[in-house]
Structure 1
Amino acid sequence: MKGPLFYAKILLFGEYGIIKDSKGLAIPFNAYRGALKTSSNLVDNAKKSNENLQRFYDYLANLETDLVTFNLKKLQKDIVNGMYFDSSIPQGYGVGSSGALVASIYDEYAADKITVLENLTREKLLKLKEVFSLMESFFHGKSSGLDPLNSYLSLPILINSKIDIEPAGIPSQKEGKGAVFLLDSEQIGETEPMVNIFMNKMKSEGFRKMISEEFATTTDICIDNFLQGDVKSLFGNVKNLSKIVLKNFKPMIPVAFHKVWEKGIKTNDYYLKLCGSGGGGYILGFTEDYQKAQQSLKDYKLELVYRF
């Protein structure tokens, strides 16, 4: 067997904010992808993946929910026959490796699944998000369900709030100087510890105030600028967001990148923000001049995501 491809995702804006009901914007990232495959000779990563699928099967078999049912018999049989998730999506990098896996399992084994081809009403999108949240909680302890949703639909998704999500039209890429890029921290980040740090910080009234008055507001403006193609305003607001994140989310930024982050804000060569939960993996960069950013960050691995 060989299943369909599911792509990585990038949450351009909204990390942590979406946990607390502010806006978010996620886009598929086709440079990385994964698919279910079967092999009679499992070694290394394929073997590890197969064992992981068995644990995931146990989790799904014990889910108590009316939202979704799975063809568990077929799933178990396929795992025994050597099924694994063949993926180029780096794990612990904030680009949705578990999301693509969840999407592929839902696509192959969910009974009465909601398909990408039908009219995706808000109710259907929310139901899918809820199902995916339940499924992906196996990997992260707590999941918004957004990564698998993005991977499953392969569409940009605008999150207005927990109960209001919609497919989004993003401006088509131009051959300009500006860019969104990924900066490789070359360390793996784990979602759960980072989310726990955030939840503990949320117990402080000052932090909650900063989230609602500064972080969420600036994130919302950045999303509006991006969707409207207002690049000039976008960079001013992303710079502001970068400052807010550096000041308030230091534990989520690998220590080796605190100075790199500051340098971008000081020189205006680039502005950095978290990609996913942080703690390692990729850091997301925005620049008005990609060549200048490449020069400024010449000691690091960069990957292009989107051109302005």
Structure 2
Amino acid sequence: MKRRDFVKTAIAGSAIACTNSLFAAEKKSQKQPDLVAIHGGSAVQMFEKGIAEMGGMSRFVKKGQTVVLKPNIAWDRTPDFGANTDPDLVAAVVKACLAAGAKKVLCFDHTCHAADDCYKHSGTAEAVEKAGGEMVSGNAHSMFIDQDIPRGVSLKKAKVHKLAAEADVFINMPILKHHGGTKITCAMKNYMGCILDRQFWHRNDLPQCIADFSSYQKTSLTIVDAYHVMLEHGPQGKDPKFAPVVKYQVISTDIVAADAAAVQIFATVAKQYGMGKPYTLDEIPYIGLAEKLGVGTADLSKLNVKRISVA
């Protein structure tokens, strides 16, 4: 099956098409899934169902390990804008990691707006701390260390946040949304919050730099928040009306596959709501570039994919 043929079912009425019509690449297998696509329910309900299907958080977190979460907290926006990762989802992941035996769970982002405002108004800081995790500065220059990017084409070196470089377990938690420069921002682009100099990427072939850094960053799990999907005016958002509640989530061990699935979700939602554009994989070049570097696969038919609907 061609990777661009995931959406098989026409969308009718006002209801969002369920994951069964989106991810036709599901294989029947006794193996633990490489990717779980969930639809329906709250962000927390989808995570709980999805991570159980993935084999539980203990598949990824062992007793005594330090876990680092990298949600998108870049913008001084409340959750209804769909600009930042759902704070309740982040809290649920913190709790799951601690229950699996994590020594501590740390959370950060190199924000675009003022860090204190982003951490507070997104709801992330309060949610993480109540769940037993710890917020860490993502903007302090002292937190960044020089790292080589061995497989990099445009990006050969970068100042990388210590938590991203040194984590026992790194969990990437992007939100799916529109982006003015790259059309869509999701899992791999969320890595821009791990580095100090974003402008270098913008000046030196942004899609290639995104792919390059993805070849460096070791990530145990990617959890795509698509409860709200901002269809226009990304990445920071203009009004909550451009970020409808659509109730999707993707959990995967393959970050390229997670982004490929996210493109299909975005296209489906854009068609349904008549906002944004139903982009194809070819229109999001960093996905193919990362695949070329061996980061993962955008062809879901090669993976063990599981679909779940939450009543």
TM-score by length of 1: 0.26
Which is greater in Rg? 1
Higher helix share: 1
- Greater relative CO, 1 or 2 (CA 8 Å, sep 6+): 2
TM-score by length of 2: 0.26
